[in-house]
A and B are shown apart, each in its own frame.
Chain A
Amino acid sequence: MMHPASIQLKIADFIIDLILPNNVPFILDHGFEGYVITDQKERPSPIDNKSVAENTISDLTIRCEIGCSNAPKRWQEEIYSAKNGDVALWKIFNTVDGICLHVFDSENLTHLQHIAFYQEEEQEWVIFSDLNDHQSLESLRYPMMPLILYYLSTKTKSLLVHASGVFDGEDGRIFSGFSGVGKSTMAGIWRSLGAEVINDDRLMLRKIDGRWWMFNTPMYYSDTQKKAKLDFIYLPFHHLENTYERSNEMPIVLRFMAHCIQHGYNAKHVQWHLDQVLDLAKEIPFARLGVVPNNDVVTFIKMHERS
């Protein structure tokens, strides 16, 4: 439990400033621990004794406020509703200068968890949340942070993707696909041979200084920040033998894009992400990979990468 008036997070090398109300305990979900900046050397430049609000080096500012009922009722028409069956997980409304999200408690979808305002141009969120049973504030409680990261990806050269990512000390590889294709299995095989697993389920890909990188992001479990360069993109599937089909043609590239996380309401976001995927396809080799899940697949992959 934290009491400071501000917290800095570093997620996928984005610096995120949380501005908190005074004297209210603030709780971050369990998986955030490794992403809190405790050493100011982690920031890109000194903050020169300025307050966080004055400091302009952050990529995103999140102002955390108490009480959904205190949110100004300035949302307008509903433009999107993310649903589980007939029940809304979150709804998006237009505002005069951005959007407003009504985010419901994933464990009790009748309960409004956050009312959040997002101003894209200023990269600022204001999140209103009720105090929990322990009178603490949980402004980034799931699914708020993944939503924030998604919107960050609509404004920066980045993508959130369902994929596992591994780095063997030489090359970074991701294995992308929906549940059941073998993302975690591949990560486990590479781990068993000494590679670092960046994450086995979800990655943020970013283009920084002309090259693509992969990062982990906060999950429901504790982890440290991890990052590796991205050299190969694979779309695995279970198969009777190992197969390798390299292609950066549209059918494979768009299939990969289907694995990118969409919380869409806006064609502009789709176009932005399509641009990022097309840029990836210019720079990173893609391949479909038939996989027999044992260690031989690693040798098989490396052999084909060199050919």
Chain B
Amino acid sequence: MNELITSICAKKHQFVCRNTGDELILIRLENNVADFNQYLTLNEVGAFIWENLEPTDDETTLIEKICAEFEANETEVREDLLTFLKKLIDHIEAK
């Protein structure tokens, strides 16, 4: 999971994001131009992870942040987080 976290952090700057209230929209920048065919919407939890993910995070610190914010069970969070990060990196790296 730590590799996923590092990869995602390294590419966050390639996205423009806007909160629409219920969700966060991520739009990819290609050569500094927005690609509106490549966008992703994140729900409240996904948005929290995206906005709070930092290069210094690892699996442990990220799970701690999520559990603290949503009062969630660590085991469940670990499982869901891995699934989410895999989907996120698939989108980020999709061409």
The finding on whether chains A and B are genuine partners in a shared complex, rather than unrelated, reads yes
Q: Which residue of the partner chain A has the closest CB to B30? A: A264
Instruction: Name the distance in Å between B88's Cβ and chain A's nearest Cβ.
Output: 18
Instruction: Name the distance in Å between A161's Cβ and chain B's nearest Cβ.
Output: 13
CB–CB B25/A267 < 8 A: no
**Chain B residues within 8 Å of A271, by CB:** 16, 18
Interface segment, one of B31-39, B45-53, B71-79: B31-39
CA distance A264 to B16 in the complex (A): 12
Indicate if B6 sits at the interface (CB-CB under 8 A).
Answer: no
CA distance A262 to B18 in the complex (A): 18
Q: How many residues of A contact B (CB 8 A)?
A: 17
Partner of B27, one of A255, A266, A274, A275: A274
CA distance A278 to B29 in the complex (A): 18
Residue among B16, B25, B39 with most chain A CB within 10 A: B16
Residue among B25, B27, B31, B36 with most chain A CB within 10 A: B36
Q: Decide yes or no: A267 and B18 within 8 Å by CB, A250-B39, A274-B25, A274-B27 being known contacts.
A: no
CB–CB B29/A267 < 8 A: yes
Instruction: Name the distance in Å between A281's Cβ and chain B's nearest Cβ.
Output: 9
Partner of A264, one of B20, B25, B33: B33
CB–CB B18/A265 < 8 A: no
CB–CB B37/A270 < 8 A: no
Q: Decide yes or no: A254 and B18 within 8 Å by CB, A270-B27, A274-B27 being known contacts.
A: no
CB–CB B25/A250 < 8 A: yes
**Chain B residues within 8 Å of A79, by CB:** 32
CB–CB A258/B18 < 8 A: no
**Chain A residues within 8 Å of B41, by CB:** 250
Q: Decide yes or no: A275 and B39 within 8 Å by CB, A264-B32, A270-B27, A270-B29 being known contacts.
A: no
User: Chain A, 95-135, contact with B by CB distance < 8 Å: what is the 0/1 string?
Assistant: 00000000000000000000000000000000000000000
Residue among B18, B29, B32, B39 with most chain A CB within 10 A: B32
CA distance A275 to B20 in the complex (A): 9
**Chain A residues within 8 Å of B37, by CB:** 258
CA distance A271 to B25 in the complex (A): 11
Report 14 cross-chain contacts, Cβ distance below 8 Å, ordered by A residue: A79-B32, A250-B25, A254-B36, A255-B36, A258-B36, A262-B33, A264-B32, A264-B33, A264-B34, A265-B32, A267-B32, A270-B27, A274-B18, A274-B27
Q: Which residues of B contact A (CB under 8 A)?
A: 13, 16, 18, 20, 25, 27, 29, 31-34, 36-37, 39, 41
Q: Which residues of A contact B (CB under 8 A)?
A: 79-80, 250, 254-255, 257-258, 262, 264-267, 270-271, 274-275, 278
19 further interface pairs, Cβ-Cβ under 8 Å (given A257-B34, A257-B36, A270-B27): A80-B31, A250-B20, A250-B25, A254-B25, A254-B27, A255-B36, A258-B36, A262-B33, A264-B29, A264-B33, A267-B13, A267-B16, A267-B29, A267-B32, A270-B16, A271-B16, A274-B18, A274-B34, A278-B20
